[in-house]
Amino acid sequence: MGKLVITRPVYEEIVAHARAGYPLEVCGLLSGRRGIADVIWRACNVAANPRLDYEMDPQTLLKQFDFEEQGQEMVAIYHSHPESPAYPSATDALRAYYPDSVYVICSLEDADRPVVAAFHMGQGDAEPIAILPSDVERVRGRADLLMRCFQAAGGRPARYELYTVADEQRISRQIVEVEEVEVEISPG
Amino acid sequence: MVTVNIPTPLRKLTGGQSRVQVRGTDIVGVITELEAQFPGIRDRLMDETGELKRFINIYVNEEEIRALQGKATPVAEGDRISIVPAMAGG
């Protein structure tokens, strides 16, 4: 399991941002040096349905290049789950376009006990398939996406099989591996 | 020449370079030049119909090309192009 180090002020700010945005999802970036996230950049969630989705605004997206000019690096991408666990959803897996980055999720499912967890998500290539498996489930809020998930110890998804159906003849499958990353809070 | 900012997911194709210089008069030309220098990069940006993949955003200076002329957006000497996959989920 890899490790992500977050300073205490950044950790508290992730939770504060998630609470400030509730019941909508919030998102942002963490930057730092040598793998330690010590700066947080709140983004705007420009998704069409921010209760269910997040999409980072362009200005914040472009900051990833500014970090490097300033001798820093983009350490993680964070977003909140206002009412679901701190674990990647099928939509998170579908849109994990930064396989080398850490994805941080702050859950407010229990409002009194926020949870911050971190993950790598590795997407395989989408491949056409002929037949949709019979045991797929529809992804909540997504008419075009079905999934199967395979659980690791503890019952949490370790792998998603994502199926998009363009029409009856065009089905594609994409496998996304989910790996949990240990979060260490440093005094900062 | 224009400068192209390369996001981390594509740097394996550019030998680790985060910024490269290419020639081109529009975005299609820039992508063609990138492919010539870094084979395989076009398939990461364009789909099989030759259109930009939905989750790939390209900015000329700080304007996204979908608000301009798409892949036909002209570029000028000294422009900064940024390739930015979406950060999104649910």
One-letter identity of residue B78: G
- The Cα–Cα gap between A90 and A164 comes to 12
Count of other CB atoms within 10 angstroms of residue A23: 10
Segment A19-66, tens digit of pLDDT: 999 999 999 999 999 889 999 999 999 999 999 999 999 999 999 999
ipTM of the shown complex: 0.90
DSSP calls for A115-145: EEEEEEEEEPPPEEESS--TT-EEPTT-TTE
DSSP-derived letter for residue A44 is -
Give the pair of three-digit tokens for residue B35.
Answer: 């492919």
Does A58 sit within 8 Å of B59, measured CB to CB? Answer: yes
pLDDT of residue A168: 65
Q: Which chain A positions have a beta carbon within 8 Å of B55's beta carbon?
A: 95, 97
Does B18 sit within 8 Å of A55, measured CB to CB? Answer: no
Segment A161-181, tens digit of pLDDT: 999 987 767 889 999 999 999
Residue A83: burial class (beta carbons within 10 Å; 0-12, 13-18, 19+): middle
Segment B5-62, tens digit of pLDDT: 999 999 999 999 999 999 999 999 999 999 999 999 999 999 989 999 999 999 999 8
Count of other CB atoms within 10 angstroms of residue A29: 24
- The Cα–Cα gap between B7 and A67 comes to 12
Q: Which chain A positions have a beta carbon within 8 Å of B89's beta carbon?
A: 53-54, 79, 88-89, 91-92, 94-96, 103
* Residue B62 forms contact with A (CB below 8 Å): yes
pLDDT of residue A125: 87
pLDDT of residue A132: 87
Count of other CB atoms within 10 angstroms of residue A41: 18
Contact present, A109 and A84 (Cβ < 8 Å): yes
Q: Which chain A positions have a beta carbon within 8 Å of B45's beta carbon?
A: none
DSSP-derived letter for residue A36 is E
One-letter identity of residue A102: V
Secondary structure (3-state) at A20: helix
Closest chain B residue by Cα to residue A49: B90
Give the pair of three-digit tokens for residue A177.
Answer: 């591996």
pLDDT of residue A2: 84
Q: Which residue among B9, B59, B90 sits closest to A89, beta carbon to beta carbon?
A: B90
Residue A7: HSE in the Cβ half-sphere, 13 Å Cα cutoff: 14
pLDDT of residue B80: 95
Segment A113-165, tens digit of pLDDT: 999 999 999 999 889 998 889 999 988 877 888 999 888 777 677 899 999 98
pLDDT of residue A88: 94
| Mean local confidence (pLDDT), A88-102 | 93
Q: Is the peptide bond before A23 cis (omega within 30 degrees of 0)?
A: yes
Does A54 sit within 8 Å of B89, measured CB to CB? Answer: yes
Does A97 sit within 8 Å of B86, measured CB to CB? Answer: yes
Angle at B30 between CA B29 and CA B32, to 5 degrees: 65
Torsion of CA A128, A179, A50, A43, to 10 degrees: -120
Q: Which residues of A are catalytic?
A: 25
- Which domains are assigned to chain B? 2-85 (3.10.20.30)
* Residue B88 forms contact with A (CB below 8 Å): yes
- Which domains are assigned to chain A? 3-121+178-186 (3.40.140.10)
Minimal C-alpha gap between B3 and chain A (Å): 12
